[in-house]
Structure 1
Amino acid sequence: MPQSAPHRRSLPLLGQLGGGRSRQTCRFRCGDACFHDAPNTSDNTYFGEVAATALSRRNMLRAGAVGAGATAAAAGLGGLAPALADNHRGRGNPRLRFEGLQPGTSDAVEIPDGYEQRVVVRWGDPVLPEAPEFDFTAQTAEAQAKQFGYNCDFVGFQPLGRDRGLLWVNHEYTNEALMFEGYTDGNDADPEQIRIAMAAHGGSVVEIRREFEGRGRGRGRRTGGWRLSRGRRRFNRRITASTPMELTGPAAGDELLRTEADSEGTRVLGMLNNCAGGTTPWGTILTCEENYNQYFVGGEDAPEESKPALARYGIATEGDTRADNRRFDRVDERFDLSRHPNEANRFGYVVEIDPYDPDSTPKKHTMLGRIKHEGANIRITRDGRVAVYMGDDERFDYIYKFVSERRYRRGSRRGNSRVLESGTLYVAKLRGDSPEKEFDGSGKLPSDGAFDGWGEWIPLASHKESFVEGFTVAEVLVHTRLAADKAGATKMDRPEDIEASPVTGKIYCALTNNSAREPGQADEPNPRGPNRYGHILEITERHNDAAATRFRWDVPIVCGDPEDPATYFAGFDKSEVTAVSSPDNLTFDGHGNLWISTDGMAWGNDGLFAVPVEGRHKGHLTMFARVPNGAECCGPLITEDQKTVFIAPQHPGDGGSYEEPQSTWPDHEGFPRPSVVSIWHGRGKDIGS
């Protein structure tokens, strides 16, 4: 089990130790989303308002929900239910053995004793063969389009054999204040700086190789350290804000997606603000557009009939929309909605990229809906179809699921090339099983001793039919938030990454925080108001089938300082638990332990945490890694052999400037470079164990 510090000191309040997201991060990444009113103005109920009608746990189990008996049955099948066999190959041994870190600050990646680390790739490193070496003082758009982009969020890996692989990395957004001398905003920026920023968005595919210790590649001992491959690197690729892409699915070609430059509504240039993502069983990457709204101007002069939908997606429709904006429209007029009002409808999708084919056209899948996508992770249903789980990262927005019509064809990228283009899109509605009066915003456990309840997936549309009155199929898929509002979906606290356990098949969702939730809006799955520190939601679908439309849910972790009574760690002794806040990205190791990366730690720098979610150590949360000043901990990714964890410290030095950097990680040459890091045990042990 993790080793605890002999005595855990009391932690200071939010902001006293340099923690929490900087205002600069809010400005450049999401356009100060949390400083504006929440776009969801629907009167959809909160959980507590329907709790009185909820079923008891006993009645729900009688109705067929998965319980301990079903989990045991799955364990009897080698730890895997048959429906999980393609995606879930867990070892079923949830134990952690490393000396956990304590909250703190340092301009470095800190890891436990016995572990080693290496920077794999950093902003500006050459990606394409003809790319020049990075020159911080003489950047150009032409060079940046061939170099590793700015900031690193989701990290995906696809193998090229035992010791080679393809690393995909999202380049979510740019911080021009750190990139360019004297930068204020896009109104005064040099047009070349705007072009550089556009080229620094998107993502990269880079070929990497595992390091060896000892003499000779064949005789050395493999480590978890990886480096960029040298030589031809034929798979390397850069995706930018201008890369041609294909719109797929039922909404492709609809009038809502047509523009002057694309009269057929099937082609779009680039992707923006790609945050989390996922990988498919057939070897492709799913990367998700999130806070794309902040790149557009001219909403005040857009057609009146389009303004309600624009506003629902956080796009300003009044006032000076050009103030404090990156002003991409100064070099590409499609970002001006007064001229091209449908252009915003062409962003906010899950994008599928084939890393094995650098000449392939990325696909924006309209069938998976248009939201501020935070992730897209897959389970295979019992009858062989594909389910994709997605969060909409906004205060009071929703959790979604897509289930394909087509069945998954094992091992065939071409055979699965259209599996995400037809099926049914759902949104979650949840109910608690405790009285509403037991939730006052304090986070106190209800009388039954658990935050739990039941829920259902409400269908919004299939590729053939809309299930929301007054909406066509295309309108559901382009204005998904509006359709979900009308369908009565449940308001959540910024649902971000969603991952399935490789051992149990249970679904876990990171709910990052929501300071706008008032005490009277607290409910069983959102037990605090305001919710400054976030929590984790667990979903167990009926019969453990990803195609099910009913599920049980509970909240195993309520984040914060363990000394605060308004925190909960699955009932584990909180004197042995590490403080954590703002859970963001999630992953699992092969033993079934949940790994949580944070975005806005309230006590020191962000980091990567691990916690068992089954067994007698359930809830024993421990910090594994801590990232540099100003950075959030993105990724994370644990390789299938369990020997490496990749993390992506994003926006190191946020809060500083080109002239006065607050971080110089990783090279300490006077300025920060967002990078990807590999971490491994020095003796070749599995990560965390």
Structure 2
Amino acid sequence: MTDITMYDDGDIDTNRSNNSPHLNDLIASRYSRRQTLRGGVSAAATAVFGSSLLAACGDDSDDNTPPVASVTVGGTTAASSGQPVTLNASVNGNAGGGTWTQTSGPTVTLTSTTPGVVTFTAPAVSTATALVFTYTSNGDVGTGNASTTVNVSPAVLAFTAVAKNLADVVTVPTGYNVTVLYRLGDPIAQGVAAFANNGSDTNFAQRAGDHHDGMSYFGLAASANTPDPSSSTRGLLVLNHENINQSYLHPNGPTGGSTARPEAEALKEIECHGVSVIEITRTNGTWAYNPTSALNRRFTPNTPMTFNGPVRGNAQLRTVYSPAGTDGRGTINNCANGTMPWNTYLTNEENWVGYFRRNTGDAAVRTANGLAKQNVSLARYGRSEVALTGTSGSPGGNYFWTTVTPSNATDTRFAKWNITASATGAADGTQDFRNEIFQYGWVVEIDPFDPASTPRKRTALGRMNHEGCQNGRMVAGVRPAFYMGDDAQNEYIYKFVSNTPWVAADATRTDRLAVGDKYLDAGTLYVAKLNADGSGQWLPLVFGQNGLTSGSSVYPFADQADVLINARLAADILGATRMDRPEWTAVNPVTGEMYCTLTNNSSRTPATTDAPNPRAYTDPKLPQGDVVNADPPTSSQATRGNANGHIIRLRETGDTTEATAFTWDIYAFGSGSDLDATNINISGLTADNDFSSPDGLWFGLPSNTTGQATPLMWIETDDGAYTDVTNCMLLASIPGTVGDGGTRTINNTLTTPANTTTRSTVQTRVGAAPGAKLKRFLVGPKECEITGIHSTPDGRSLFVNIQHPGENGGPANITSSWPYTQTGATTGSNRPRSATIVITRTDGGIVGV
């Protein structure tokens, strides 16, 4: 805090030295007592000290001049954007009333609880900026005023970096607090029992799901269930539940294996996936969720949903549940998210393919039904036909839900995960679930304010392993863009540009899903091609163009719906750039630049490196008990390819979301600070900011200083390469802009387990070294992923999700007991739970700056 506290001793002399005469002596030697009373004090003081001390003086030409107040507010001080500032005026004599006014600089809001004292938050600025304030006194001794200047500099990361660690708690900087808000199993409806956390709990359709992930906060009006984008004390928190820690959900782990899963166990696992909507409030500085709010809601893989956009009603969506191909049940493996300007939530289906079972013989049936091309599609998305054998996660489908024999013979909630085509069923798929897999892989829009609304799958945005879906800057009259990553090795970056230019009034409409229809159901889906010279193009995935035709030798497209269902195949044909697992996207609210995390890629080799994916190397892990990494590392310790990942950024030509070309560079390379600075630790990371496997990514909101001028960007990690040194983490950064660095030449060396070494040389484009503008803000508990992030509009409460702590353990081997350890419990005494935390500053300030 910058505290501008001014001192005025009045008639009291606190200088006991003999260095100079007292002020009164100086005055007496030049002016009579009568002149002093008539205003001469002001003139005399100015003569001795200059004009800054007394700013309002009476005229001493006659005896009727009003008395003058001596106001002291001090000189110039400094603060950085986002920091709290206090102005304190001191008045000679009986001060009476007085007011502070701002006379220059960006307007700030002054708050006062004590006479003469005001506080404000230093505004966001991109360069040093002076703010001038004047205090005017109207006391018994007359009117006086004085001014002071506050020089505001651009935002800095005003915290001490958290050290890497392997503790079983969430570690944050000094001056910050952590509150656990919403945990796996927490009840969200009246009458639901408290969570026992011993494997006996049921009814997860009315409890918090597992694996908390992408998340958004929506402000609620104080006394109504309607949006209030300015509310930072009451809101709706909407968050994804990506997956499950299966073993901890049951008393002694799962039973049944690949033969016959118990119905109750499978239903519990299914319901633990999906999305939560919960009401939260801040009372006396403490956040809590309301377990009985009428707005609380769970979306699971069994929740009815509808399809919108070009694929609605397509033959490939037809099932026994929806013969018309217009409806479906549920959403699954929801990872990152999007927060729409019209107050809706986008949840994105990521690794959905593995949940489906496809038996041997399915391909032959599809071919016999005239749908041989579906075999090409299924293979491209990773679902080949395999016999039902093995353990959970095998081609029998994740968790083997299809082996359940339901107690109700008409219950198809388990059978829908088996996409094997029936040889005797209708060829159009309306008598089985052969097409169920095409109902997944979409962006899903939810209206959190309407508990009766049905989520809509937005098919115009394409089908893939959707990670994030973040909108670019919304500019009236300009068609908005929505950026997405396809999270798998060597997949692509996409953007969707709406056909409809943005209308600002749509942000406050009450028919929110209809607004989504307007902007998300018609437009052009593009895929990115990044060139070695730092340029790039957005290639349109449009039927009939650039080889996307029925005559394609790769895949014969029937229409635009077929292109969208098979976006990966279409992108292959267009020659898009294969990336190192594109995950979350985030858009700088000031520059409009899009950032995308490329988490890692173990299959990247020197032969396949290119300018936007330039590294293939061996990252050694620290051998147990050693202090120096082995070189060369042993095969069991090493992580290979692009083990630590990087973050790429794009700037649209003309800074418009409608652009079809862009420039790019790499903002930062993940790396241990001890690795080769020339070819691996290219961004010059230190112990304060080294990281591995960037995943979650988010910019501060434009409603506070973290989203203005020089916005704050948050980076979350989901790592396996650096976990011998530290748990996963959250970092804060103040990034620059595309092109603020230069070119670098990287020499790659990759050693395989068979001790085969390959090499390559690649030139790439690298952003300026982050330095002190990138710091580690948080380290999570054991075996977790840090993911999901959002804040209140004022930036004073930051919500973060802790996913799958203790994921490598089970009931008989508890490897983390977080969040119980956050309050001092002993590791091993409680089963771990994914949870949402809230981070606040002890002084109530804005988080991070």
Whether these two folds match at TM > 0.5 is: yes
Match of 1:358 in 2: 451
Q: Which moved more, 1:602-611 or 1:263-272?
A: 602-611
Match of 2:357 in 1: 297
Match of 2:149 in 1: none
Tell me the alpha carbon deviations over residues 309-342 of structure 1, each in whole angstroms, 9 at most, x when there is no partner: 1121122323446642311223421111114221
8 Å contact kept, 1:556–1:619: no
1:333 aligns with 2:432: no
Match of 1:486 in 2: 573
Tell me the alpha carbon deviations over residues 89-113 of structure 1, each in whole angstroms, 9 at most, x when there is no partner: 9765342110111211111111110
Pick the aligned partner of 1:402 from 458, 483, 496.
496
Work out the CA distance in 2 between the residues paired with 1:527 and 1:518.
Answer: 10
Residue 467 of structure 1 and its aligned partner are, at CA, apart by 7.3
1:226 aligns with 2:287: yes
Match of 1:559 in 2: 670
1:389 aligns with 2:483: yes
Residue 475 of structure 1 and its aligned partner are, at CA, apart by 0.8
1:596 aligns with 2:715: yes
Match of 1:137 in 2: 198
Shift in alpha-carbon separation, 1:148–1:423, aligned structure 2, 3 A: same
Match of 1:607 in 2: 729
Shift in alpha-carbon separation, 1:194–1:226, aligned structure 2, 3 A: same
Residue 479 of structure 1 and its aligned partner are, at CA, apart by 1.0
1:417 aligns with 2:539: no
Residue 617 of structure 1 and its aligned partner are, at CA, apart by 8.3
Work out the CA distance in 1 between the residues paired with 2:217 and 2:205.
Answer: 22
Work out the CA distance in 1 between the residues paired with 2:460 and 2:124.
Answer: 30
Pick the aligned partner of 1:469 from 549, 564, 567.
549
Pick the aligned partner of 1:198 from 270, 294, 316.
270
8 Å contact kept, 1:558–1:567: no
What letter matches 2:238 in structure 1? W
Tell me the alpha carbon deviations over residues 430-459 of structure 1, each in whole angstroms, 9 at most, x when there is no partner: 1012xxxxxxxxxxxxxxxxxxx0101101
8 Å contact kept, 1:207–1:229: yes
Match of 1:426 in 2: 526
Pick the aligned partner of 1:168 from 238, 241, 245.
238
Match of 1:183 in 2: 254
What letter matches 2:263 in structure 1? P
Shift in alpha-carbon separation, 1:642–1:568, aligned structure 2, 3 A: farther
8 Å contact kept, 2:651–2:662: yes
Work out the CA distance in 1 between the residues paired with 2:602 and 2:816.
Answer: 28
Shift in alpha-carbon separation, 1:476–1:210, aligned structure 2, 3 A: same
Shift in alpha-carbon separation, 1:111–1:430, aligned structure 2, 3 A: same
Work out the CA distance in 2 between the residues paired with 1:515 and 1:117.
Answer: 35
8 Å contact kept, 1:398–1:428: yes
8 Å contact kept, 2:672–2:685: no
Relative contact order (C-alpha < 8 Å, sep 6+): which is higher? 1
Larger Rg: 2
Work out the CA distance in 2 between the residues paired with 1:397 and 1:301.
Answer: 29
Work out the CA distance in 2 between the residues paired with 1:593 and 1:209.
Answer: 25
Q: Secondary structure at the residue paired with 2:497?
A: strand
Shift in alpha-carbon separation, 1:486–1:454, aligned structure 2, 3 A: same
Quick one: percent identity of the two aligned structures? Answer: 37
Q: Secondary structure at the residue paired with 1:329?
A: helix
Match of 1:216 in 2: none
Work out the CA distance in 1 between the residues paired with 2:327 and 2:200.
Answer: 30
Tell me the alpha carbon deviations over residues 199-241 of structure 1, each in whole angstroms, 9 at most, x when there is no partner: 11101100000131xxxxxxxxxx4x421136x5111101111
Match of 2:112 in 1: none
Match of 1:583 in 2: 694
CA RMSD after TM alignment: 2.5
TM-score (norm 1): 0.79
What letter matches 1:607 in structure 2? M
8 Å contact kept, 1:630–1:655: yes
1:659 aligns with 2:758: no
Match of 1:115 in 2: 176
1:371 aligns with 2:464: yes
Work out the CA distance in 1 between the residues paired with 2:735 and 2:605.
Answer: 29
Shift in alpha-carbon separation, 1:195–1:293, aligned structure 2, 3 A: same
Work out the CA distance in 1 between the residues paired with 2:321 and 2:390.
Answer: 23
Match of 1:345 in 2: 438
What letter matches 1:287 in structure 2? T
Match of 1:313 in 2: 381
Work out the CA distance in 2 between the residues paired with 1:506 and 1:90.
Answer: 19
What letter matches 1:167 in structure 2? L
Work out the CA distance in 2 between the residues paired with 1:676 and 1:569.
Answer: 34
8 Å contact kept, 1:291–1:372: yes
Pick the aligned partner of 1:537 from 645, 648, 652.
648
Pick the aligned partner of 2:162 from 101, 111, 115.
101
Q: Secondary structure at the residue paired with 1:432?
A: coil
What letter matches 1:684 in structure 2? G
Count of aligned pairs:
572
Work out the CA distance in 1 between the residues paired with 2:682 and 2:294.
Answer: 51
TM-score (norm 2): 0.64
Structure 2: gaps spanning 5 or more residues: 1-105, 107-122, 127-153, 222-230, 393-397, 405-413, 422-432, 551-556, 617-640, 701-705, 738-767
Work out the CA distance in 2 between the residues paired with 1:97 and 1:568.
Answer: 31
Shift in alpha-carbon separation, 1:566–1:476, aligned structure 2, 3 A: farther
Shift in alpha-carbon separation, 1:370–1:344, aligned structure 2, 3 A: same
Tell me the alpha carbon deviations over residues 330-363 of structure 1, each in whole angstroms, 9 at most, x when there is no partner: 3421111114221100001100000000110001
Work out the CA distance in 2 between the residues paired with 1:328 and 1:651.
Answer: 21
Residue 568 of structure 1 and its aligned partner are, at CA, apart by 8.4
